[in-house]
């Protein structure tokens, strides 16, 4: 399959690396809104201007759109789905239904196939919520995130006056995880599920006490959580907090039996050194499925829920049954 | 969907209970090779003779075949797939390709839809092996089982002269699990992955030392493992070892990045109070998918790899996107 990458940030670079690991995938090129000559790629892949992408319609099987969910993808994915089979990793959960409708209409108009919200949450975590709830009907599921860097929370801290840089780690609370795993089906508040660990580089002479107070009292982001704030130097930030690890847990417990006498626990967890690189791996596997489904005549917008697992794998149906079933 | 249960052992009883938990499923009847009047069902469901099942062709949407993999399913599933949409939980991994071919041919002959090997391994564990390997191309996966009762190993002990009853627990070894989770990608022998814990009721006057030796030296089953043998009374067996718990772990670790500098761990685990009841829950969710796919005109034999996840859930596509994605 011939893949194009549209957008070249952390995610685009991750997809570039992931394509190298998949023998059946080749990278046609990277499309950027920056001046192409100013962009140096990791693997030496060619770079083109974003506005020239339509010239590559016949050379690209699937276009992976690596933009942000806030402002890029709501515009890019519907526009590009009229011309390409596309995939994105749109992750603003509340806006997924609206995004789906727009992308579906655009893709159907010209008989293209699109997939939105591929990644790990939404993505693999969503799949595990679905599988677990379909199996354990009488149960309750929980999603915990972390330990990992939340870009949104880090950005929120950076907007506080006197803050030069910031990194926020979301940390699941062990006691809550244990209670869930034990099948107690607890009702947990936000504060009981996650801690928020903040590392902040303050500007010279800034009032650190005021910054800490502003962080801890910030509504939605921090006020409902136990939050720690640690001031560090720019060097320490660079040295210890440059990576973007993440992960988390999807756990469902449920009851079965004539009198619900048996308890079961299904747990799925991810521990990721690099959030964008893992998301990129999911995107490339999904590109394989979208390419196959498009070749079979599928059109419109899909999500991970609509993809038969076999379509994600490079192995044949016979190989899968022999070696993985 | 209207479901028939063919075979009424532990699994059949589990399916009977699972159907009660699924509002869109009704149980038409239970078909048994025993005299129907001799069978008392858990929920008062009607019992019919196995040979009368063809009289119910028009009343059953999906027939769930609850037989054993050794001798029942290889005969039953192909025979019944000519007349019904069917599902089984065939779990002899090495014989899956041959079973698939026979069931596929039988189902295609009359335009029926069949699914084989639904459950947790094969089943949910297989799915997780597939998803993880499609995402982390450059990696290695491991399946650990337990702590749980292995029926095959328990039966093997019971065949030793002087043994009245036996229960064998397969126990994953924590050190091996930890090494795998850490991304070390170790090469592990059978002995390094699992312990085998045996509880044995000996006949009066039996030579316990000889029994223990025969167990520990039994090829394939025990010789390659560290095995413990504990002799207990029939009362203790009844009191402490009547349940059929099981579970396990599917873990894949892999590398990403330009120079494979990042490690990721994907882990799926199950902790089941009742192995047959959990398998039954998977079978009923799969029956929903098979019913929907058959209504759309699908025929032949499928496995979990061929089922789009959305088809397993009672929720609509819109509800899934809004609440689970």
pLDDT in tens, B296-317: 999 999 999 999 999 999 999 9
Mean pLDDT confidence for B99-118:
98
Contacts of B269 in chain A (CB under 8 A): 265-268
Chain B contact for A263 (CB, 8 A cutoff): yes
Q: Binning pLDDT at 50, 70 and 90, where does residue A214 land?
A: very high
Inter-chain Cβ pairs, chain A and chain B, closer than 8 A:
214
Query: Cβ contacts of residue A285 below 8 Å, gap of 6+?
Result: A312, A313, B134, B135
Average of per-residue pLDDT across A289-318: 98
**A297 Cβ under 8 Å from any chain B Cβ:** no
Please give the pLDDT value at position B33.
96
Residue-level pLDDT at A224: 96
Q: How far is B246 from chain A (nearest CA, A)?
A: 10
Say yes or no: B18 contacts chain A, CB-CB below 8 A.
yes
**pLDDT band per the 50, 70, 90 thresholds, residue B138:** very high
pTM assigned to the model: 0.96
- Residue B30 is given by DSSP the state E
Q: Give the pLDDT band of residue B28 (cuts 50, 70, 90).
A: very high
What token pair was written down for B23?
């509002």
pLDDT of residue A72: 96
What rounded mean pLDDT belongs to chain A?
A: 97
The two structure tokens encoding residue A272: 């990721």
Rounded to whole angstroms, how far apart are CA atoms B139 and A64? 23
**Contact between residue B29 and residue B46 where contact means Cβ atoms under 8 Å apart:** yes
Q: With left for phi above 0 and alpha for psi between -120 and 50, is residue A300 left, alpha or beta?
A: left
Q: Which residues of A touch B97 (CB under 8 A)?
A: 318, 321-322
Task: Please give the span between the terminal C-alpha atoms of chain B, in angstroms, as a whole number.
Answer: 26
Which of B27, B87, B134, B246 to mutate: most A Cβ within 10 Å?
B134
Average pLDDT estimate for A182-209: 96
Q: What is the pLDDT of residue B5?
A: 98
Please give the pLDDT value at position B12. 98
Nearest-angstrom CA–CA distance, A130 and A146: 21
Categorize the per-residue pLDDT at A126 as very low, low, confident or very high, splitting at 50, 70 and 90.
very high
- pLDDT for B193: 97
Q: Tokens 């809104």 identify what position?
A: A33
Return the pLDDT at A199.
98
d(CA B220, CA B196): 12
pLDDT in tens, B35-92: 999 999 999 999 999 999 999 999 999 999 999 999 999 999 999 999 999 999 999 9
Q: How far B97 CA lies from chain A's nearest CA (Å)?
A: 6
- Rounded CA Rg of chain B: 22
CA distance B27 to A285: 39
Tokens of A35: 């001046």
**H or E element, residue A271:** strand A262-272
Interface check for B256 against chain A (CB to CB < 8 A): the answer is yes
CA nearest to A42, candidates A17, A67, A10: A17
Q: Is A321 on the interface with B (CB under 8 A)?
A: yes
Whether residue A312 and residue B21 make contact (CB cut-off 8 A), yes or no, is no
3-state class (DSSP) for residue A211: helix
Out of B261, B265, B321, closest to residue A100 by CB: B321
Residue A218 CB neighbour total at 10 angstroms:
18
Helices (H), chain A: 10-21, 73-81, 96-109, 124-135, 151-158, 174-181, 190-193, 208-216, 234-240, 275-295, 317-323
d(CA A281, CA A66): 13
CA distance A263 to chain B (A): 6
Length of chain B as a residue count: 325
Distance CA A249, CA A268 (A): 6
Q: Do A271 and B262 touch (CB under 8 A)?
A: no
| DSSP H or E run through B231 | strand B226-231
- Which chain A residues contact residue B130 at CB under 8 A? 309-310, 312-313, 320, 324
Question: Would you call A93 an interface residue with chain B, using a CB distance cutoff of 8 Å?
Answer: yes
Contact B190, B144 (CB under 8 A): no
Residues of A in contact with B313 (CB under 8 A): 130, 133-134
Q: Which residues of A touch B263 (CB under 8 A)?
A: 273
**Please, what is the average pLDDT of chain B?**
97
- What's the whole-number mean pLDDT along residues A99-107? 98
> Could you give phi then psi for residue B218, rounded to 5 degrees?
-65, 120
For residues A70 and A126, the model is more confident at A126
pLDDT by residue (tens digit) across B74-84? 999 999 999 99
Residue B98, both tokens: 């041959």
State the pLDDT at residue A53.
Answer: 98
Task: Count how many Cα atoms sit within 13 Å of the Cα of residue B69 in the half-sphere of its side chain.
Answer: 20
Residues 189 to 228 of A: which have CB under 8 A from any B CB? none
Contacts of B241 (CB under 8 A, 6+ apart): B149, B167, B199, B232
Mean pLDDT along residues A154-173: 97
**Cβ <8 Å between A97 and B318:** yes
Confidence of residue B121 (pLDDT cuts 50, 70, 90): very high
**DSSP secondary structure of B234-295:** HHHHHHHS-S--EEEEEEEEEEESTTS-EEEEEEEEEEES-HHHHHHHHHHHHHHHHHHHHH
Closest CA to A284 of A80, A64, A124: A64
pLDDT, position A279: 98
- The pLDDT score that the predictor gives to residue A222 is 96
Of B117, B313, B325, the CB nearest to A117: B325
Nearest to A55 by CA among A75, A28, A87: A28
Which residue of A21, A103, A134, A257 is the best one to mutate when testing the B interface, meaning the one whose CB has the most B CBs within 10 A?
A: A134
Q: Which residue of A has its CA nearest to B259?
A: A17
Name the burial class of residue B39, with classes exposed (0-12), middle (13-18) and buried (19+) by CB atoms within 10 angstroms of its CB. middle
Q: What is the ipTM of this complex?
A: 0.96
Q: Report the alpha-carbon distance of residue A182 to residue B151 in Å, rounded.
A: 25
CA distance B103 to B116: 8
Which pLDDT value is given to residue B186? 96
Q: Does B102 touch chain A (CB under 8 A)?
A: no
What's the average model confidence in pLDDT over A265-286?
98
pLDDT band of A190, cuts 50, 70, 90: very high
Q: Which of residues 29-48 of A touch B (CB under 8 A)?
A: 42-43
Give B130's pLDDT tier (boundaries 50, 70, 90).
very high
Q: Which residues of B are less than 8 Å from A272 in CB distance?
A: 262, 264-265
Q: Which residues of A touch B17 (CB under 8 A)?
A: 256-258
Two structure tokens written together for B266: 């994907």
Measured CA distances, A124 to A18, A89, B131, B312 (Å): 17, 12, 9, 16
B218 band by pLDDT with thresholds 50, 70 and 90: very high
Q: How far apart are CA B113 and CA B293, in angstroms?
A: 8
Q: pLDDT confidence of A206, banded at 50, 70, 90?
A: very high
Q: How confident is the model at residue B124 (pLDDT cuts 50, 70, 90)?
A: very high
Q: Which residue from A minimizes the CA distance to B267?
A: A269
Give percent of chain B with pLDDT exceeding 90: 98
Over the stretch B176-204, which tens digit does the pLDDT of each residue have?
999 999 998 999 999 999 999 999 999 99
Q: How many whole angstroms separate alpha carbon B11 and alpha carbon B281?
A: 10
Q: Compare CB distances from B257 to A258, A277, A309 and report the shortest one's residue.
A: A277
| Average pLDDT rounded to a whole number, residues B253-274 | 97
What is the rounded CA–CA span in Å between residue A117 and residue A143? 17
Q: Give residue for tokens 């399916």.
A: B15
- Chain A within 8 Å of B124 (Cβ-Cβ)? yes
> Can you read off the two tokens belonging to residue A92?
């603003």
């Amino acid at each position: 399959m011939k893949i194009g990458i549209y957008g070249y940030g952390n995610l685009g670079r991750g997809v570039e690396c992931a394509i190298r690991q998949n023998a059946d995938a080749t990278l046609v090129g990277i499309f950027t809104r920056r001046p192409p000559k100013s962009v140096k790629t990791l693997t030496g892949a060619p770079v083109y201007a974003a506005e020239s992408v339509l010239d590559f319609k016949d050379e690209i099987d699937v276009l992976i759109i690596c933009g942000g969910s806030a402002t890029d993808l709501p515009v890019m994915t519907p526009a590009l789905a009229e011309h390409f089979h596309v995939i994105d990793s749109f992750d603003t959960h509340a806006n997924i239904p609206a995004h789906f409708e727009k992308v579906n209409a655009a893709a159907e108009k010209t008989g293209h196939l699109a997939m939105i919200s591929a990644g790990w949450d939404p993505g693999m975590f969503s799949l595990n919520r679905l599988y677990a709830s379909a199996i354990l009907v009488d149960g309750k599921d929980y999603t915990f995130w972390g330990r990992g860097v939340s870009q949104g929370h880090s950005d929120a801290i950076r907007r506080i006056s006197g803050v030069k840089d910031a990194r926020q780690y979301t940390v699941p609370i062990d006691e809550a995880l244990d209670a869930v795993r034990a099948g107690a089906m607890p009702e947990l508040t936000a504060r009981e599920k996650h801690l928020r660990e903040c590392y902040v580089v303050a500007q010279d002479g800034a009032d650190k006490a005021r910054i800490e107070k502003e962080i801890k009292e910030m509504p939605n982001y921090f006020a409902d959580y136990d939050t720690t704030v640690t001031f560090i130097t720019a060097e320490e930030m660079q040295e210890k907090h440059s990576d973007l690890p993440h992960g988390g847990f999807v756990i469902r417990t449920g009851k079965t039996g004539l009198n619900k006498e048996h308890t079961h626990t299904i747990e799925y967890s991810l521990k990721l050194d690099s959030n964008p690189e893992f998301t990129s791996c999911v995107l490339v596997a999904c590109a394989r499925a979208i390419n196959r489904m498009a070749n079979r005549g599928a059109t419109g917008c899909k999500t991970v829920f609509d993809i038969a697992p076999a379509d994600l794998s490079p192995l044949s149906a016979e190989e899968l049954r022999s070696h993985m079933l």
